[in-house]
Amino acid sequence: MSSTSEMPVIRNDWRRDEVLALFNKPFNDLIYEAQSLHRRFFDPNSVQLSTLLSIKTGACPEDCKYCPQSARYDTGLKKEKLLHIDYVLEAAKAAKLSGATRFCMGAAWRSPHDRDIPNLVEMISEVKALGLETCMTLGMLSENQAEKLADAGLDYYNHNLDTSPEYYGEIITTRTYQDRLDTLSNVRYAGMKVCSGGILGMGEEQNDRAGLLVQLANLPDHPDSVPINMLVKVSGTPLSDADDFEPFEFIRTIAVARLMMPKSYVRLSAGREQMNEQMQALAFLAGANSIFYCEKLLTTSNPMSNDDLQLLKKLGIRPEKYDSVQSDSVDESELYRIVGESRGDNLFYRVG
């Protein structure tokens, strides 16, 4: 296989054998190539901070084996209806004060009902008025629903492919892989930015991880944001006893994603609480440049905000600034002070 420098940088024609060859490079070579390409498109010492809020929790009819929000599994999760916009705005204000530039809102639906769209439109409008990028993950979207969210100004829509087409049926049976691809197509056609990635550690093989990245990189346009999740094992779900995922294979996946989608933000998403500082530092070196920054990801825990900022400070990595954030945003030195004094659990508005 030719070296990365001899290949076109932006490609949508990846073959799985090429991707497997990347996975099997010597670790040092792979990380060097990924970091070198990363520097062509991004500041290597900057990371984008996103905050995620569950705006409707539990009772999802899908059977995703990793998900504590599925109505099919007894995980002890309290079911909640769609949050009132006042709660959402309080959480968004706290997220902005704490340094986040993107506010993501997730609802445990197979797909939103049309009756919910006006409430979602209001949330998008009000959160954007705070000077934050907006993102939602609501399940499958029709063309009409995607257009309404786009018209409201939604910046990103998250809809993960989860794994390879071949392994997908081992994890989910209530919607097809094509259903997911159709939603991404509707989002892209409506003019929103695509956020799509997958989950590692669900019992898949390296061939499946390569297959997932091929699917993402061979979309008509690379996803603007690619979340790479490590399985969070939740009691009551079918994957609660899955084997622990090998840390170096996780880092390899980050690096390969960076090489295949060099202009995309690659986000360390779920599972960071199980990663030590050294593993996270390697992930940044491999090309990750976005994190979920809050102590709760929908229903599972995440590192405390002050711990994240302390790690970034040790590494000399700065929180990325969003051009549209209003002038009253906290500057970097003030951000470290606020989070250090109050700790993340007092900054974020907890619901449920």
Active site residues: 60, 64, 67, 104, 135, 195, 267
Residue pair 74/59 in contact (Cβ under 8 Å)? The answer is no
Cα 33 from Cα 6, distance rounded (Å): 12
**CA separation, residue 177 to residues 140, 172, 182 (Å):** 11, 9, 9
3-state helix, strand, coil in the chain (%, to 5): 40, 15, 45
Tokens for 311, please give them: 């790690």
Q: Check the CA dihedral 233-28-277-222 and report its sign.
A: negative
Amino acid at 349: Y
Residue pair 184/194 in contact (Cβ under 8 Å)? The answer is yes
Strand partners, 318: 46
CB-based contacts of 270: which residues, under 8 Å, 6+ apart? 199, 229, 230, 231, 232, 292, 297, 300, 302
Other C-beta atoms within 10 Å of 6: how many?
7
DSSP letter for each residue of 121-138: HHHHHHHHHTT-EEEEE-
Cα 96 from Cα 101, distance rounded (Å): 6
Strand-strand pairing, 300-301 and 296-297 = antiparallel
In the block, residue with structure tokens 């700790």: 343
Strand partners, 215: none
Say if residue 119 is exposed, middle or buried (CB neighbours under 10 Å; 0-12, 13-18, 19+): middle
